[in-house]
Homo-oligomer: A and B are copies of this chain.
Amino acid sequence: MKDLFVSYIHTLQDTITARLETIDGKAIFQEDVWKRPEGGGGRTRVIEKGNIFEKGGVNISQVHGKLPETMQQYFGVKDANFFACGLSLVLHPKSPMVPTVHANWRYFEMYNKEGVIVDQWFGGGQDLTPYYLFDEDAIHFHTVCKKACDAHDPTFYPTYKARCDAYFYNAHRHEGRGLGGLFFDYLKKTEERSMQDWYNFVTTVGDSFLEAYIPIVERRKDTAFAKAQKDWQEIRRGRYVEFNLVHDKGTLFGLKTNGRIESILMSLPPVVQWKYDHHPEEGSDEARLLKVLKNPKEWV
C-alpha cells in the first residue's frame, strides 16, 4: 500500500503541475528535492508571479522514522515508528475573483518497536476559499466533490462535507476559512471496507481535483477587479494565515516532525494585510461572503 500510494502521488503531482502551468501560461514550477535528516524527504514544486497564480505549491513528501514525543502523546503510543506520505497543494491566485484552493491526500503507517505495523490510515480532502462569492463556482466545486464520493458511498459526501466545515473553522473569528469541500481522516480498515477500498476512494477524490478547480479558474481569470477588491483579498488572506498557524494540525505536524519549513509554509500567501477592526459595508459583496462563512451552506 505504501509503494502504491507513493507512486500515485508522484504521478498526480506531475499531472497537476503540468495542467496548472498550461493554464497559467507564464510561470513555471520551481522544483526542490529535499531530504529529511531523520528519514525520507520530498519533492516541492512552487510557482510564483504567474499570470494567474501569484504563489502556490504542489508538494509531495514521504517521511519516516521515530514518532516524535509530542505525536506519541497525541496518539497515546510509546516507542512507535511511523511512515507518512502525501501530496499537499495550495494555490493563491493573483485575482481576487479566482478562489484560493487547498488539497491534501495522505497515507500514514505506525509500527511498534519490533517494526510490526500496528495501524494505518488515509486522510485528506480539498476545499475552496473565495474572496468574492459566485454561487455557481461553489456549486460546481461541491458537485464534483459529491460525484467523487457517491461513486463509493452515498453517505460519504454529507459526512466529509460536514467535517470539512467543522475542521477549517477559525474559532477565534467565529467563521469558516472558506466554503469547504471534503475533509476525512483516520480512514481505517473495517468489516465493510479494506485499505484497498479506501485507496480507491482517496484516489478518486485526488483524480477529481482538476475537474473541481480548473473550470472555476477559467471562468474568473479574465474578470476585471479594482484596488479595493485586491485589498479585500489581502485582508482575507490574513484569516488564511491565522487558520494555518493557529489551528491547522497538518502545519503543526510538519513543524513537530522537523519537516522542511519552506515546504510546510509555502501555504502562506504572498502578500497579506492586517487592518485593525475591519468590517465590510453592510449589503456589500464582501459582507455577503462573510455571512456565508459564518453559516455554512449546503451547495448541492
A1-39 vs B, Cβ < 8 Å mask (1 yes, 0 no): 000000000000000000000000000001010000000
Task: Please report whether the interface of chain A is mostly helix, strand, loop or mixed according to DSSP.
Answer: mixed
Cβ of A269 within 8 Å of any chain B Cβ, yes or no, is yes
Q: Are A277 and B32 in contact (CB under 8 A)?
A: yes
CA distance in complex: A241, B239 (Å): 12
Q: What residues on B are CB-neighbors of A241 within 8 Å?
A: 241, 245, 272
Interface residues in A227-285 by Cβ distance below 8 A to B read 234, 238, 241-242, 245-246, 255, 261-262, 265-266, 268-277
Q: Are A272 and B275 in contact (CB under 8 A)?
A: no
CA distance in complex: A40, B245 (Å): 28
Q: What residues on B are CB-neighbors of A269 within 8 Å?
A: 274
Cβ of A57 within 8 Å of any chain B Cβ, yes or no, is yes
Q: Are A266 and B276 in contact (CB under 8 A)?
A: yes
Q: What residues on B are CB-neighbors of A261 within 8 Å?
A: 172-173
Interface residues, chain A, with chain B CB atoms under 8 Å away: 30, 32, 46, 48, 55, 57, 172-173, 234, 238, 241-242, 245-246, 255, 261-262, 265-266, 268-277
List 29 contacting pairs A-B, 8 Å CB cutoff, sorted by A.
A30-B276, A32-B277, A46-B276, A48-B275, A48-B276, A55-B276, A57-B276, A172-B261, A173-B261, A234-B271, A238-B268, A241-B241, A241-B245, A241-B272, A242-B245, A245-B245, A245-B246, A246-B255, A262-B277, A265-B274, A268-B274, A269-B274, A270-B273, A270-B275, A271-B271, A271-B273, A272-B272, A272-B273, A272-B274
